[in-house]
Each structure stands twice: as structure tokens, then as C-alpha cells.
Amino acid sequence: MRFRISTPQPATLYKKVPIPDEFISVNADGQRWGGDIRIGDLTGDGNVDFLVYKSLGGIKPCFLGAFTLDGEPIWSVGNKDLTAMDADSEDILQTTSPDRPGPVAIYDIDQDGTTEVICFLIDFDEVGAVSQPLSRWNLEAIDLVILDGKTGEIKRHASPAELRQCNAYVDGELHLSNYVHHRLMIANFTGNSQPQDFVVKLGNDILAFNHELEILWQYTNRWYRYSKHAAYIPAVGDLDGDGRDEVNGGHFGLDHDGNVLWEKYLGDNMDAVLVEEWDGDQSNGKEAILSGGGQVLDGHGNTLLELGMELVPHGQEIRYGNLRLDTAGPELVIRYNGHHPDLMVVSHSGEVLSRFQADESPNNTGLEIIHWNGENEADLIYSPAALYDGYGNKVVTFPNLPPPTGGKMGWYHCFPANVCGDEREEVILYDPHSDAIYVYTPPPFDATAFRGYKHTPRQYNARLID
């Protein structure tokens, strides 16, 4: 049964946050743009701050700028106008908005009580000292750095050979779709009281590091050909209940020490994966959720649920939440037909509860779960740029949101976060080719209910995808 709502309710635009002018770039057509965005409390004052960054050739981060919820600059590092000769053509590599959300994370990685920025960053001394061209398709001239969140000063720096040897090639063949997603995912591999490690997939290589930027382990992925690739961005979480995190790569699962839990081909278009509690038994750890074929696996790779390729021909995105109060949850929402607005909500038992079409967007991606009505009410589904309930009704719209820019990359990315009010979540939207961030809150808005921003894996390991 589908309950129909005749008129979606408008969200309250809490704040339009301008990216500071000194962090803005302007293209040849006069369009102002900032770049990719991350969120977190950088200053320690209990409010959310923002970080914008740009990348040489769209891949290699070379400029980061931090600013407040009021749009006031905090610090910046790097060069937003960096160029270099392109080793793969006769062109010049320009600094642009990142091709994909990339290797920049905000988190207290050393657990000293203050926030850091963990990221890749161009080695400016090396780039300035050499005359040979640079390639977008390898990690030459890239360092790992940890920056102080308050000042932007470098707290730790490393240039591991294992990182710089990573590239987009396998046996001399270029595999771009397998390479361009360089997301740092914060994890707890070493068993500390709080996560102090991270993992990143770089083409065919998965590398794990600790908070001192020492490499913990390295894994070589076997599935790199489109559309039979492993997950573009791995997910992390405790799959065996031992208090340490494992890695879900779709066709592979890795233990906290990098040892293989499973390696098997599980279906085409394994674009998105999660680690969430599914079977209701927290003692045995969480479960691995896969977009390809709509699957749920236990920590050994055994199948708990499989919708199959007929129901999910191209699992572009998958998310998990309490989407319906009339069924025993949790439920899944899947963008099941590739880059199209086709969504389905699936029950815990595998029943398709609803199918519907969200609004069209430039790339038809950008799926998220929002606790819009609080933790005890049904979650809502974000798809650019509205909120839908588990029945497929559009229930919330975002007024005063300008149209997306920048071609297919100009859709609105979404961070769910409590940034200004009660236990209900706000929606933070940004277009990497725009010059502002939009923060929407559920009405009625009560500023006195705010108890401070909380930084959780939903923010620092946000599942942003193209």
C-alpha cells in the first residue's frame, strides 16, 4: 500500500554559506566555483566548519581552504592556480574542481582532542623543482599529510613509496573508472579505543595506514575491468565483532590486518557498498551490504540476502535505514538501474516495498538517508534535490536552491548532520562548481534546542559518489 501526499513541504533554508572570495576560482566563462567540500568542527567551538579543496588535473589535491558556518575564512594551504605540463598529452594540467570526491577527511586522527585534516597533497617542492611533466594517472609527487584543523599547519607528513607507486594501469592497460575514486575512509584496524587508522583504494591497490602515516598493509584487487569492478569506494566496519574494523570491497572482504575474508565475483556493477547491522545480532559484528545484485553478506562472505540481477540490473547506489514503520526494519533503498532516477525500497526479508522515480539530476546520483524527523521516526531518502519517504512520496523540497552547474558533475552532494537544532538532522547541500553551500533544517526551527555539532562516521566517512 502506498500513501500519497499531495503537496511536499518546503524545508527551511537555515543558511546559505558563501565560500570565501579568496578560496573561489573563476572559469573562462566567468563562473565562480569553489570545489569539493568536507565538514567538521575544525576550531573546536562546537559548530560545524567547512573545508573546500581543489585538485591539479581534477585528481591531485593542491589547495585547501577552511571556513566557518558564517563564511569567514580560517586558513588555507596550497596553490589554487597550480598548473603543470601533462605527461599524457601536449596540454597543461589545470587546477579544477575534483573529478570525484577525493582523498580528504576531517577527523581527530591522533585523538588529542582536536580535529585534523588528513589528505593527499601535492609536494610543492618536488613539483617546483622538476621539469618533467606530471600525469593524472599516477600518484607521483603526492604526499600524505595531517594538518592542524585550527591553523592548517602540517602536524605530520609522509611520502611512502607504496603510495607513490600506485597508478591507473594494470599490465600497461589504463582503467580509469577503477582509479578515479580516491576516498580516505577512517577506520580502526589496530584496536585502539577510537579509530586512528584509514584505508584508501587507489586503482588496483588498497592501502591501510595508521595515524602516524605508517603503512599497515596492502592488498591487490583482482576485479578492475568495467563493469565487473570491485567497489569504487570500500566501506569499513566491524564484520566479526572483535572491536576492530574490516574492509568491504564488494568482491572481496579484508580482515583488520589485511588478510582475505572472501574473494569471489558477486555480480556486475558493484558500485557501492556499506557495513551496517543487518541480522540483529551485534555480537557477531555487522554485515556487508552490496549494490551489485542487491546483496547482504555475513563477515565470512556468506549470502544472507540476494535480490539478483533481474531486480537490480545495475546497482548504482545503495543505502540503509529505518524507512518504513509498518515493516520490520531496517530497509534498503537502491538506485537499481544505473544512472537513472529509478529507486526501490526493499524490506529486511527482501520484499520490494516500493518502486518510484526521483527527480532527474545531471548524473542521477547522490543518494543518502536523512534522520529528518528524528531518530524515532521513519528516515527519509535524499535524491537530488528533494526528500522522499519509504513509499516513494516526495515529502520535502528545498526552496531557493539554484539549478546545478558544471555538466554531469554539477549535482548536489549531501551531508546529513545536526548543525543548528534539535535531534533532527539538517541537510547540507553543495555543488562543486558553485560558490556557496546550502543548509536546510526541518521546521519548526528552534535554535535554543541546539546542543553542539556531533561528528560521526555519517559525516567523516560520508558515502559521496558520482
pLDDT, tens only, 63-94: 999 999 999 999 999 999 999 999 999 999 99
Rounded distance between C-alpha atoms, residue 127 and residue 95, angstroms:
14
Q: How confident is the model at residue 212, as a pLDDT?
A: 98
Is the pLDDT at 410 greater than 80? The verdict is no
| Residues in Cβ contact with 149 at an 8 Å cutoff, skipping those fewer than 6 apart | 40, 41, 42, 43, 44, 49, 66, 106, 114, 115, 116, 117
Going across the sheet that includes 436-441, the strands are 12-18, 436-441, 426-430, 413-417
Determine the 3-state secondary structure of 458 from DSSP: helix
User: Do residues 134 and 85 touch, judged by C-beta distance below 8 A?
Assistant: yes
Q: How confident is the model at residue 131, as a pLDDT?
A: 67
Q: How confident is the model at residue 466, as a pLDDT?
A: 65
User: What percent of the chain is predicted at pLDDT more than 90?
Assistant: 91
Average the pLDDT over 146-174 and give the result. Answer: 97
Residue type, 207: L
* C-alpha cell belonging to residue 30: 566567468
Average the pLDDT over 143-168 and give the result. Answer: 98
Q: What is the DSSP string of 127-170?
A: HHH--S-B-TTB-TTEEEEEEETTT--EEEEE--HHHHT-BSEE
Is the pLDDT at 237 greater than 60? The verdict is yes
Determine the 3-state secondary structure of 460 from DSSP: helix
Q: How confident is the model at residue 414, as a pLDDT?
A: 96
Supply the mean pLDDT for the chain.
Answer: 95
Rounded distance between C-alpha atoms, residue 381 and residue 373, angstroms:
12
Average the pLDDT over 300-322 and give the result. Answer: 97
- Angle CA 409–414–420, to nearest 5: 145
Determine the 3-state secondary structure of 198 from DSSP: strand
Q: 280 or 359: whose pLDDT is higher?
A: 359
Is the pLDDT at 412 greater than 90? The verdict is no
Average the pLDDT over 202-207 and give the result. Answer: 97
Residue linked to cell 500513501? 3
Residue type, 61: P
Going across the sheet that includes 368-370, the strands are 9-10, 394-397, 386-388, 380-383, 368-370
Residue 465 confidence class, pLDDT cut points 50, 70, 90: confident
Q: How confident is the model at residue 1, as a pLDDT?
A: 46
Average the pLDDT over 139-165 and give the result. Answer: 97
Neighbours of 399 (CB within 10 A): 10
Q: How confident is the model at residue 407, as a pLDDT?
A: 73
Check residue 87 and give left, alpha or beta (phi > 0: left; psi -120 to 50: alpha): alpha
User: In terms of Cα–Cα distance, which of 159, 134, 149, 162 is closest to 104?
Assistant: 149
Average the pLDDT over 195-223 and give the result. Answer: 97
Going across the sheet that includes 235-237, the strands are 235-237, 246-248, 252-254, 260-263
User: What percent of the chain is predicted at pLDDT more than 70?
Assistant: 98
Average the pLDDT over 411-419 and give the result. Answer: 92
* C-alpha cell belonging to residue 242: 572483535
What tens digit of pLDDT does each residue of 436-447 get? 999 999 999 999
* C-alpha cell belonging to residue 320: 540503509
